[in-house]
Structure 1
Amino acid sequence: MSRPRKRRGGCLSILILLLLAAALAAGLLWQRYTEFADSPIAGLRPGTTLVVRQGDSLPVVLRKLQDLGIGGLQTYEWTALARQMGAAGRIQVGEYRLEPGMTPRDLLEAMRDGDVIQHRVTIVPGWNIRDLRAALAKADPLVHDATGLSDADLMAKLGKPGQHPEGRFLPETYVYTRGDGELDVLRRAHGAMEKALDAAWRARHKESVLKSPDEMLTLASIVEKETGIAEERPAIAGLFERRLRIGMRLQTDPTVIYGMGTRYDGNIRKADLTTDTPYNTYTRAGLPPTPIAMPSVEALQAVANPAPGDALYFVAVGDGSGRHLFARTLAEHQRNVQTYLANYRAARAAGR
């Protein structure tokens, strides 16, 4: 009877030892696993980025990391961590920043949540379509999918065939990610302008002389080009509206300059003011046929609610401030012109 009991005791001891060994091994594996998950990835250099493309699996991402000079990558460790974090099969497309000190857990979390690098491009108020397209052509890493398209083809690509592109893109800063193209940015900017223009048109004052949102956009573009002083915009908008109401020509230099196109060399001469083009508001009454620039939201709002008054003329102060002098009569305006000339000459004499 004693010998079987000894065999059972020996088996129990072996079983306990095996369990202890398994627990120790599991503990060591867990320690190694947690050290792997939360230790900085070796070999990361400042400014390095990882691009994940459509269809890239975790093994493909690991090969890309190896191509970036990062060694010692164990697929089974990354796979186990990805499963634990819910990142397996959920890696999102995009460009990711790799900085020294980043851990595998940090990187998998970023790829799971789509925490991609965001780039920015700014459309400046007062730019024309040539300025805008030139800026987008230089933006990196934006995909240049509008290069080579005519303005007409561009608008057709945006779903607006036949629409003139001038003034149709809202000036602001747009965020994009690697893989986005010029058309993506332009589509968003066009939609933003449509929304801003619709809001301004619905908020316009009841006595507005403007007959359509397109006319509002055109007048706002002129106001945008006439002044960089925010508080002056409603006054200038009101002045132009009064001119339109009484049939007086707008006589605004920015429209003449726009009509000159690439012939404009920074100076506007008397011959330019008398040379007729569809945009010469000295030779033609009413608004020009299209906007002449990209107006800001503030310019749209100024045209929707212009300042009241009786001024019909304005001229720059001439002191470099960018401000203007307003006048009700031609005689008063001519005195303001003399003030402008005196200030301008004094500024030049002072080297300003």
Structure 2
Amino acid sequence: MPDTGRTDQELIEETELIEGTRKPDDVTDLLDGPPERRSKTAVKRGKSCLAVLVALGIILAGGLFAWQKFSVFAEETLSTPDYTDARGTKDVRFTVPSGASLTSIGIDLQKADVIKSTKAFKKAIEKYNGNPVVQAGTYKMRTQVPAASALNRLTHPAKYRIRKTVQVLEGLRLSDQVASLSKQTKISRKDFQAALKKPQNLGLPDWAHNRPEGFLFPDTYELTGDTSATSVLKQMTERFGTVSDGLDLQGRAQAMHRSPYDIVIVASIIEKEVRRPADRPKAARVIYNRLAHKMPLQMDSTVHYALNKSDRVTTTPADRANASPYNTYKHVGLPPGPISAPGKASLQAAANPASGSWMYFVTVNPDTGETKFATTLAQHDAYVAEFQAWCGKHPGRC
């Protein structure tokens, strides 16, 4: 073999490469070789793997998000006990005391088994659209309802609050007002009488001289769950204050050179003497005209008050001889206090009398309330004859 100048080992390796029996184990062999071309199948397989990985990532991310949401929901549900059925189980009355806070209401709701927890009620308040306002009173509720449902009922009093009212008519004397209030509220007369003995607690006007007669304004009042004799009477005196302020009673009294207390006394007489709205300002003028002329008022209503009787329209000679200071046949001027609780119309008439020179009036028909006014005694006597004729047709009424 000719000498090639190469070693035996080099010749062996060259022979192996030519014959294809050698497997390169040197990295340089791979680097020096021509680049291998990837097949189309391999490329597709790579893209599929990438899509799978992306999809798997999306699924994992969605699952993580859902798990987080579920965890929050589960945590709130488990940590905030609340009923779930808005239909509840049974009807119940729930009373909100006057001045109660939302916190105390929540505690009471839980005690009544309306809601499951105060924490649920607090969350319902936080989610409420605006600041929830709950009025005092008694509400129609259901036990074992979601806190949000309970709050909804409490913030819709027109629909769910049980309205218990009392109506006090115009023209009643104080003792009759108490009897009516006791009957309607189921509060004893004794409690009302005890409250009246502390007039300083009733919110009377300063110029009422701590005398409740005439200042318990006749109207319809709504009762709350914690109604008491004092709270009812305070409602009535407050209503009087509102009405009298609206009529500018004190201002009108000053303009007429009268005390506001005088105006209430006159209004209380008008309330008992006439019924038709148009007659009230005229009756007020008659009273003021007679006072101006130093004439006794001669009102049967004041005698009835003095004797505490109202079974007849008229009075007898014996009645009119009574020495009571409320007897305006015997005493000149106004009686010492109101003889009834006047309504707004009578207060307005007393503060705004009609213009006229009338000195007398007679209700000629007590059934219809028809009243006639006179400036002279002769005219008045003629109207009295009309009244007596009516009495003759209605025995036992006069």
TM-score, with length taken from structure 2: 0.68
Corresponding residue for 2:382? 335
SS at match of 1:230: coil
Q: 1:96 aligns with which of 135, 139, 142?
A: 139
Q: Is the contact made by 1:314 and 1:333 (CA closer than 8 Å) also made in structure 2?
A: yes
Determine whether 1:308 maps to 2:351.
Answer: no
Corresponding residue for 1:278? 325
Determine whether 1:51 maps to 2:98.
Answer: no
SS at match of 2:139: strand
Give the drift of 1:253: 0.7
Deviations, residues 178-229 of structure 1 (Å, cap 9, x unaligned): 11333223223323324544513423595x4x53111111111101110111
Q: Is the contact made by 1:169 and 1:294 (CA closer than 8 Å) also made in structure 2?
A: yes
Once the two structures are superposed, the pairs formed by residues 1-352 of structure 1 within 5 Å of their partners are: 15=60, 18-19=63-64, 22=67, 25=70, 40-45=86-91, 48-52=92-96, 54=100, 56=104, 58=106, 60-65=108-113, 73=116, 80-85=123-128, 94-98=137-141, 104-111=147-154, 117-140=162-185, 146-149=191-194, 151=196, 153-158=197-202, 163-197=210-244, 199-203=248-252, 208=256, 211-261=258-308, 264=309, 266-267=311-312, 268-318=315-365, 320-346=367-393
Deviations, residues 5-40 of structure 1 (Å, cap 9, x unaligned): 99x9698588458437637957997xx99xx99963
Please give the alpha-carbon distance, in whole angstroms, between the structure 2 residues aligned to 1:319 and 1:141.
34
SS at match of 1:326: strand
Deviations, residues 285-309 of structure 1 (Å, cap 9, x unaligned): 1000011111122112212221222
How many residue pairs align between the two structures? Answer: 330
The 1:128–1:319 alpha-carbon spacing in structure 2 relative to 1, beyond 3 Å, is: closer
Please give the alpha-carbon distance, in whole angstroms, between the structure 1 residues aligned to 2:188 and 2:324.
36
Please give the alpha-carbon distance, in whole angstroms, between the structure 2 residues aligned to 1:237 and 1:113.
45
TM-score, with length taken from structure 1: 0.75
Please give the alpha-carbon distance, in whole angstroms, between the structure 2 residues aligned to 1:197 and 1:52.
31
Deviations, residues 46-94 of structure 1 (Å, cap 9, x unaligned): xx4212455636354133036xxx9xx5777666544433799987765
Give the drift of 1:331: 2.1
Give the drift of 1:171: 2.2
Cα RMSD of the aligned pairs, angstroms, is: 4.3
Q: Is the contact made by 2:94 and 2:140 (CA closer than 8 Å) also made in structure 1?
A: yes
The 1:328–1:265 alpha-carbon spacing in structure 2 relative to 1, beyond 3 Å, is: closer
The 1:204–1:87 alpha-carbon spacing in structure 2 relative to 1, beyond 3 Å, is: closer
Unmatched segments (≥5 aa) in structure 2: 1-45
Give the drift of 1:124: 1.9
SS at match of 2:365: coil
SS at match of 1:317: strand
Give the drift of 1:236: 0.7
Q: Is the contact made by 2:267 and 2:346 (CA closer than 8 Å) also made in structure 1?
A: yes
SS at match of 1:284: coil
Letter of the 1:158 partner, please give it: L
Identical positions, percent = 26
Pick which of 51-60 and 298-307 moved more. Answer: 51-60
The 1:99–1:235 alpha-carbon spacing in structure 2 relative to 1, beyond 3 Å, is: farther
Unmatched segments (≥5 aa) in structure 1: none
Pick which of 223-232 and 299-308 moved more. Answer: 299-308
Give the drift of 1:132: 2.0
Please give the alpha-carbon distance, in whole angstroms, between the structure 1 residues aligned to 2:155 and 2:368.
52
Q: Is the contact made by 1:87 and 1:108 (CA closer than 8 Å) also made in structure 2?
A: no
SS at match of 2:192: coil
Please give the alpha-carbon distance, in whole angstroms, between the structure 2 residues aligned to 1:307 and 1:184.
37
Q: Is the contact made by 2:253 and 2:263 (CA closer than 8 Å) also made in structure 1?
A: no
Please give the alpha-carbon distance, in whole angstroms, between the structure 2 residues aligned to 1:271 and 1:286.
21
Greater RCO structure (CA 8 Å; 6+ sep): 1
Give the drift of 1:99: 6.8
